[in-house]
Structure 1
Amino acid sequence: MASVETPKEHINIVLIGHVDAGKSTTGGQILLSSGQYDRRTFDKYRQEAKEKNHESWWLSWAFDTNAEEREKGKTIEVGRASFTTDHKKITILDAPGHKGFVPNMICGAAQADIAILVISARKGEFETGFERGGQTREHAMLAKTAGVRYLAVLINKMDDPTVEWSEERFNECRDKLMPFLRRICGFKEQEITFIPASSQTGAYIKDPEPSLCPWYSGPTLIDYLDALPPINQVSKNTDFIMPVTGKYKDMGTVVTGKVESGQVTVGAKLLCMPNRVPVEAVSLYIEEDEVEKLQCGDNGRIKLKGVEEDDIYTGMVLCDQSKACKVARVFDAQIYVIEHPRIICPGYSAVMHIHAATEEVKMTHIIALLDRKTGEKTKTRFIKQDQLALVRLECQGRSICMDKFTEFDGRLGRFTLRDEGKSVAMGKILAFRAE
């Protein structure tokens, strides 16, 4: 009797990091090294990039597809591509690094299970990205807040003349990053892996180069991804939840997103929350393939019956009709103030990013200040940078789909507050309140 092949787990990775660290080049090198993309296509990218005097950018053109991105060498939209390893089917999301496009980066992180934080080892570039205001810090914090489970730190440009595969430089970057990733972002040590690499040459993306880097004995990037333990298995039998990250019209209303829990099959009766609009899933897709089922971890599309495209917006959540996801306008939360030059008082407003949703919120009460070591509560009239507090927040527009952090340790229980183009605080939802 022929054995039944076990389907590969579908995971989603997001490439994040400071501008010019090499994120898009890393993504292009992954696709090229995996051997599943036509070499002639990349040869065409190389020739076209050379003609525009951007020869070093050719790998990034696999993700930076529009003219502005290619001309400026700057990712704006979240690029997307897929490849397979021995044990995984992987969707790559290439997030922009420029501080002006952080909301787009958040949208990419909200769909990912694993983040690859790309760091430039080049002298001066690591320091610029890691100092306050650099995107290395902000992207790492946003990834954790968005619910990313594992973090691979790719120390890129190790072949640069200022580095030359120096173990000392690798250790310097790692030792400066690790306390920040653990203490501030909240990653556990076993969730973080550091990998030296050159995305331009491909060293340590797929194959090791011991002659260049004899001191490193860990996995290459693709080997690391292939060996990750199952990430989405535990949620497959729970209630269906999929935040909507995009929409378009194609012989009906089609929504895109990543299934956060449960599964959905063709013909399933769903609710579009928070408006409680009943809909039916008439077709399901992964990439270009029509499928019978989407399950936890799948990044796909659903064609819906019963709703018009104009009635759908990013940040809505599809869920089972039998168990609607929770919705709130007023809620209590624990927040940690990352960076803010002034004190924060009741009445303070900021933009909240939670899963794929974006909404302005106002702080109506400061319940207490929390001691970060003991958890002891003290009364206060204001919050400052690097402080932990319990606060009450109120959405200034529509209600938002969310859940308590203790009940849904993922996208629906964590959020980020941003103000004046900067990430101000990370938060966890603790309780809902009557309006």
Structure 2
Amino acid sequence: MLQVVLQREVLIFDAGKSTTGGQILFLSGQVDDRTIQKYEKEAKDKSRESWYMAYIMDTNEEERVKGKTVEVGRAHFETETSRFTILDAPGHKSYVPNMISGASQADIGVLVISARKGEFETGYERGGQTREHVQLAKTLGVSKLLVVVNKMDDPTVNWSKERYDEIESKMTPFLKLSGYNVKKDVQFLPLSGLLGTNMKTRMDKAICPWWNGPCLFEALDAIEVPPRDPKGPFRMPIIDKFKDMGTVVMGKVESGSVTEGDSLLVMPNKTQVKVLAVYCDENKVRYAGPGENVRIRLSGIDDEDILSGFVLSSIARPIAAVTEFDAQLQILELLDNAIFTAGYKAILHIHSVVEECEIVQLLQQIDPKTRKPMKKKVLFVKNGAIVVCRVQVNNLICIEKFSDFTQLGRFTLRTEGKTVAVGKVMELPSGSNF
């Protein structure tokens, strides 16, 4: 019988994620015992015994010395029904832009929460990184979330049901507020990333008598990723480019499909290009559909004429290129003493675009309870407000209305290293396609 293998991108983020990612690769046979022994010795020599699993994902020296992921690590593993790409996103505040590029490629998020006393609370409090990461993941299109409560083996926790329930009950309202449908799109499960407990096989009742749910691999296999349209107009935001027998661009196909020989447009500079070859992972393929991360070799354009944030697009229905648009924004938490009003400036992150922007006009405030526009004129808003406003950028950017292409129509606003608002594109100026 032919086994159908689904390709899925999994973003692992927050506390203990590199260890969990490393353990996944070990348990799925991607790393052998000798390599693990080498990492154990390396970690021991640095007096970091418990970090050895993280070394599988954290390959550069800076990451190993600091114990922090800097770049988005990529690795692959397979279960019986699916092929997964793990994206190990940086957790530390200074590396959030790198996390954004990882999140924009993922369908499934694995949010790793530490059960250890004090660690969960630090990440979860106002301004903590857990909050920011969840909001970013949702905004960037990570539609399904597995919340793994890690370090359950820690002596301060000892597989306590009370501690697990406490974390679940505190996280649930926040996940709802971030836009997740907790019943449909979120699943919690306990595990130990360091020991590999409840990861590939269900855990022994002797360890944790109260847990009757699946292990991590089962839960990942069971997630249904929302479908994308293989017949829609082609859209692929470019996250990177390089020279290799022509110009090669990298990104995730968000809509439509691409075949060797296709003619496409690079937007916003409207350059017509021809597809010479398509690669998934290291393999050359004839065809790639939506949801796949690909490298495409092009003729007709020089790599110097392409920037991250440009979009490879269908010629018949090109993506819009604009310098202003109307958006609905949810204000999360402004910096101290900041007022959100016309003239407010921030950094806009939308798919692979990073661009300075200015709010030029507040159009209307939305009542958070009724979700209906409020009658009064709006001059400024505070934390927690929902507001429709006009956003302006200096350079042409490629975006879509949220209602047409959710992946290309949602964004975050950041300032001074902090996410202050999440938003969706509501209207584009008429005639913005060409």
TM-score scaled to structure 1, two decimals? Answer: 0.95
Alignment partners' CA distance in 2, 1:261 and 1:216? 39
Q: Does 1:93 align with 2:123?
A: no
Q: Which runs of 5+ in 2 are unaligned?
A: none
Per-residue CA deviations over 1:244-269 (Å, capped at 9, x if unaligned) read: 11122222221111111221111111
Q: Determine if contact 2:326/2:389 at 8 Å carries over to the other structure.
A: yes
Q: Determine if contact 1:352/1:415 at 8 Å carries over to the other structure.
A: yes
Aligned to 2:8: 11
Which of 218, 221, 225 is equivalent to 2:213? Answer: 218
Q: Does 1:288 align with 2:305?
A: no
Alignment partners' CA distance in 2, 1:187 and 1:329? 33
Give the deviation of 1:228 after TM superposition: 1.6
Give the deviation of 1:273 after TM superposition: 1.0
Give the deviation of 1:178 after TM superposition: 0.4
Which of 303, 306, 312 is equivalent to 1:309? Answer: 303
Aligned with 1:139: secondary structure? helix
Which of 34, 42, 45 is equivalent to 2:39? Answer: 45
Alignment partners' CA distance in 2, 1:382 and 1:54? 50
Q: Does 1:229 align with 2:224?
A: yes
Give the deviation of 1:40 after TM superposition: 2.4
Work out the number of aligned pairs and report it.
426
Aligned to 1:388: 386
Which of 309, 320, 326 is equivalent to 1:326? Answer: 320
Give the deviation of 1:62 after TM superposition: 1.6
Alignment partners' CA distance in 1, 2:98 and 2:214? 30
Distance change >3 Å, CA 293–CA 39, structure 1 → 2: farther
Q: Does 1:370 align with 2:366?
A: yes
Aligned with 1:352: secondary structure? strand
Alignment partners' CA distance in 2, 1:184 and 1:140? 7
Aligned to 2:52: 58
Per-residue CA deviations over 1:307-361 (Å, capped at 9, x if unaligned) read: 1111111111112222211221111110000001322110111000001111111
Q: Determine if contact 1:155/1:194 at 8 Å carries over to the other structure.
A: yes
Q: Does 1:353 align with 2:349?
A: yes
Alignment partners' CA distance in 2, 1:186 and 1:274? 32
Percent same amino acid among aligned pairs?
Answer: 48
Q: Does 1:260 align with 2:254?
A: yes
Q: Determine if contact 2:144/2:225 at 8 Å carries over to the other structure.
A: no
Alignment partners' CA distance in 1, 2:388 and 2:314? 32
Q: Judge which range, 150-159 or 61-70, deviates more.
A: 61-70
Q: Judge which range, 113-122 or 49-58, deviates more.
A: 49-58
Give the deviation of 1:229 after TM superposition: 2.1
Matches within 5 A, 1:79-90: 79-90=73-84
Give the deviation of 1:43 after TM superposition: 2.4
Q: Does 1:243 align with 2:237?
A: yes
Alignment partners' CA distance in 1, 2:225 and 2:408? 21
Alignment partners' CA distance in 2, 1:186 and 1:199? 25
Distance change >3 Å, CA 230–CA 425, structure 1 → 2: closer
Per-residue CA deviations over 1:392-435 (Å, capped at 9, x if unaligned) read: 00012x111111111112x2110000011100000011001369
Aligned with 2:50: secondary structure? helix
Q: Which runs of 5+ in 1 are unaligned?
A: none
Which of 332, 337, 354 is equivalent to 2:331? Answer: 337
Give the deviation of 1:36 after TM superposition: 3.5
Alignment partners' CA distance in 1, 2:281 and 2:410? 28
Q: Does 1:118 align with 2:112?
A: yes
Alignment partners' CA distance in 1, 2:182 and 2:169? 15
Aligned to 1:132: 126
Q: Determine if contact 1:361/1:395 at 8 Å carries over to the other structure.
A: yes
Q: Judge which range, 314-323 or 154-163, deviates more.
A: 314-323
Aligned to 1:404: 401
Q: Determine if contact 1:335/1:426 at 8 Å carries over to the other structure.
A: yes
Q: Does 1:103 align with 2:97?
A: yes
Per-residue CA deviations over 1:246-301 (Å, capped at 9, x if unaligned) read: 12222222111111122111111111111111111211112221111111111121
Alignment partners' CA distance in 2, 1:45 and 1:88? 28
Distance change >3 Å, CA 423–CA 187, structure 1 → 2: farther
Aligned to 2:171: 177
Q: Determine if contact 1:64/1:79 at 8 Å carries over to the other structure.
A: yes
Alignment partners' CA distance in 2, 1:230 and 1:106? 20
Give the deviation of 1:237 after TM superposition: 2.2
Q: Determine if contact 2:152/2:190 at 8 Å carries over to the other structure.
A: yes
Aligned with 1:244: secondary structure? strand
Aligned to 1:70: 64
Aligned to 1:27: 21
Alignment partners' CA distance in 1, 2:319 and 2:364? 29
Supply the AA of the counterpart residue of 2:314. Answer: D
Give the deviation of 1:202 after TM superposition: 0.3
Q: Determine if contact 2:107/2:225 at 8 Å carries over to the other structure.
A: no
Give the deviation of 1:6 after TM superposition: 5.2
Runs of at least 4 residues of structure 1 off by over 6 A?
A: none
Q: Determine if contact 2:3/2:81 at 8 Å carries over to the other structure.
A: no
Q: Determine if contact 2:106/2:142 at 8 Å carries over to the other structure.
A: yes
Supply the AA of the counterpart residue of 1:211. Answer: A
Aligned with 1:329: secondary structure? strand
Aligned to 2:199: 205
Per-residue CA deviations over 1:218-249 (Å, capped at 9, x if unaligned) read: 111111111122534x4222222111111222
Q: Determine if contact 1:9/1:230 at 8 Å carries over to the other structure.
A: no
Aligned with 2:408: secondary structure? coil
Supply the AA of the counterpart residue of 2:386. Answer: L
Q: Determine if contact 1:45/1:58 at 8 Å carries over to the other structure.
A: yes
Which of 417, 421, 426 is equivalent to 1:430? Answer: 426
Supply the AA of the counterpart residue of 1:383. Answer: V
